[in-house]
Structure 1
């Protein structure tokens, strides 16, 4: 029988259970989806697409201790391990990265599970009558499929701008049909994978009509996603084109008055797309950052002191992202982005997958690369005016302007999976500070401080389980 890692995740993905935020779907006694009989009505297709959105909540994707809310920041220079924690995700922190280490390999299967749910819908799309509803459903499903493959390719492959050989280097399988027994190989190079991602996103952008729901893709969200993908591809003209389209329809980066409420889920100001969590589903972000013990925050990882000092006192992000508090006699700078939402159980916090602020920073970076420093500075000042109390517009040029854009990107997107990929796509090494984990930088520093540009570990390993099932899947070099 033909098998592939996708087979494992597909049957799990398509066992529609009561834990979903959507209504239950008809299933056989063995919990296998009756695909042929199910996708016949508009309601069926709406539920199917909603269930594809739900797949982003899977353990190891955006829930659980090894969720992607923390792994890319652990791998970079934003966090340091708290010795009073459980040493969770320690392998990632010390760069002991291997094919059998789940904390760094989980998105491979989880991402293909998301794509599988989208493909289950797309494979039956002709059951719908042509028209606006069908077109929107297809657009959402293709947008979801693109995002899932993008999350896989940026982790397990080189990023096009990372090095001269990256575009032609080993890519991933881009799965475009629902087949639990599909055998795939890594037959595409990186550039070809990005082309397929962009094709799906362009179709979604042209055809999506779903609006005003940050838990689902909208035109502005897809445009913003295109700005992200084109930034990774190094196509700065298209970063500007699609980023400006997104900013035109959703210009707010989140006002300084609303900013704290964004992280309490009482405001969606400046949020383009997020993964919705709720206590009813019991789907939570988990204790990857910290948990509460005896009324105190016990963190697994805390903010590296060098990064902490870059958040100045007038920056609203400092108090929105971080709280300094004691735990058993020592004081730490704890990350609270995923701790508590208003009116929800602890850790049932929505994942802000894409925000307008990132799109603005994408465009500012691209404008700088294209020589439009005036435009880049104007955008940067727009963001800073909503982050710093009493901000006076900056006048940076040249290298100083580039450094200011990079600083704001790091501060704005801290603990939102961006830092590792920014260093990777720019071809920069990881250089951690020599500070310790305590709130003033004291204590023992990390034992591994650097990851050179030449390291194969920038490309995470394909899970060994996937290769065991399908030996046609080529492992990344070095593992």
Structure 2
């Protein structure tokens, strides 16, 4: 029998070449497109952060996908809320594979530093996604930092069955930050390639993590560093174009810090969780909540970029077409993991909470200038300023996996509008309208198969 594959190569041999490190690292980026992360429909993170909140309502015309998650029926054997757990650890494992060969003498100097920095940035990003979903967020309540964190994997061990959630939330955040600070210092990846982490992207991700941790001075510090390297929040003229690009068309990445590329051969239908195009009509799984849809002014460029109001089966719906594309395969577009606009909003909110209302207002007006076709700079102050920042955050980051986590980190409940799924607010309503701020459901359940494989992993309370 043949003992050596004619197609594949042993990893020990492959990792003796410098180019293999890049190929393996690109495999870690590709893992972000796994089921449970950014592809398919069940548990797709492009929609989970919105269908669990007041941004979306399930459509009677759809296939009932993700219905239990929308109704807060979370369970340890339902992939809608558990899928991210294994998908994110798969990303971590691939990043750790690269790091496991880092000291074999193949790479040296800046090349070695950059590969390590990218791998640790990827590892940190995936761990943070696990952390904010399955553990309490530090700003969520007064005891959060001392509660159960996550297992932070720092070595390549795919069959690991003895890990545990021994770290606290605070210790887990420090692990994420440590990896990102190393990456920020050592990374040399060209900013022109938005499909890989760059220094600006790492600084921007640090601003996100520090905002969740409640360390507002560092949110401002690293957010401003990111804005210094990548100041554009996407111009008014380019905004629609960054969402409607398809493979083969001119790719506009104005204001994008890091995206998950979606070119051949994968070309995953990342937007399928929202709708499918059938005989020229959008059949939506979820549509915009009526009250939320009406928060978008008619002169807001985001309204036409995010929504299409159209008939399906003789009924009018406010469809989400942010990921539908334009002129190419439907629902196949890059995934915007981090944008400059979010970083600006992070810094604006952190500046306000640090007592610097002047900077907060200036940044807020900078964003609004590029979203409204006619805009007079606002002059909000005090609570009205914070409300304006949070409103723009909700509008700007709609359908980008932010709303659930913003409510969670602020310790706020979900309160839906009570309107139906039809475009005028009539039709079928969500079965569950509220989720209390102190509900255990804000921490998603650890998948039962992960606990069966490793009983050391503690399940979240009440599951």
TM class by smaller structure: over 0.9
Q: Does 1:402 align with 2:386?
A: yes
Q: How far is 1:37 from its partner?
A: 2.4
Question: C-alpha displacement at 1:157, in angstroms?
Answer: 0.4
Match among 317, 326, 351 for residue 332 of structure 1: 317
| 1:42 has 2:18 as partner | yes
Query: Counterparts of 1:234 and 1:261 in 2: how far apart (Å)?
Result: 34
Cα deviation digits, residues 381-403 of structure 1 (max 9, x gap): 00000000110100000111011
1:188 aligns with 2:188: no
Q: CA-to-partner distance for each residue in 1:179-211, whole Å, 9 max, x for gaps?
A: 122221111011101000000000000000011
Aligned mates of 1:237, 1:31 — CA distance in 2:
52
| Equivalent residue in structure 1 for 2:239, among 255, 259, 265 | 259
Q: Distance in 1 between matches of 2:270 and 2:6?
A: 29
Deviation at 1:329, TM superposition (A): 1.3
1:425-473 CA-partner distances (Å, limit 9, x unpaired): 0000000111111111111221100000111000000000101111111
Pairing partner for 1:246 from 226, 239, 243: 226
Q: Which residue pairs with 1:170 in the alignment?
A: 148
Q: Equivalent residues in 2 for 1:76-115 (5 A)?
A: 76-115=53-92
1:41 Cα offset (Å):
1.5
| 1:298 corresponding residue in structure 2 | 283
Cα distance in 2 for residues equivalent to 1:75 and 1:199 = 31
Of residues 193, 198, 202, the one that matches 1:218 is 198
For structure 2, list consecutive stretches of 5 or more residues without a partner in the other structure. 246-250
Q: Report the counterpart of residue 186 of structure 2 in structure 1.
A: 207
SS at match of 1:433: coil
Whether the 8 Å contact between 1:428 and 1:453 is mirrored in structure 2 is yes
CA offset at residue 42 of structure 1? Answer: 1.1
Residues 104 and 366 of structure 1, relative CA distance in 2, 3 Å threshold: same
Count of residues paired in the alignment: 452
1:15-414 superposed matches below 5 A: 34-66=10-42, 67-127=44-104, 128-182=106-160, 183-211=162-190, 212-265=192-245, 266-342=251-327, 344-414=328-398
Give the Cα separation in 1 of the matches to 2:113 and 2:120: 11
Whether contact under 8 Å (2:18, 2:107) holds in the other structure is no
Q: 2 CA distance for matches of 1:280 and 1:129?
A: 29
Shift of 1:294: 2.1
C-alpha contact 1:278 1:284 (8 A) present in aligned 2: no
How far off is 1:35 after superposition?
Answer: 3.0
Does 1:462 find its partner at 2:462?
no
Q: Distance in 1 between matches of 2:383 and 2:416?
A: 22
Deviation at 1:341, TM superposition (A): 4.5
Conserved? CA contact 1:73–1:79, under 8 Å: yes
Alignment RMSD: 1.5
C-alpha distance after superposition, 1:358-396 (max 9, x if no partner) = 000000000000011111000000000000011010000
Q: For the structure 1 residues 178 and 82, does the alpha-carbon distance in structure 2 shift closer, same or farther, using more than 3 Å as the test?
A: same
Following superposition, the deviation at residue 346 of structure 1 comes to 1.4
| Normalised TM-score (structure 1) | 0.92
**CA displacement at 1:28 relative to structure 2:** 6.7
Alignment check: 8 A CA contact 1:243 1:360 kept? yes
Distance 1:54 1:392, change over 3 A: same
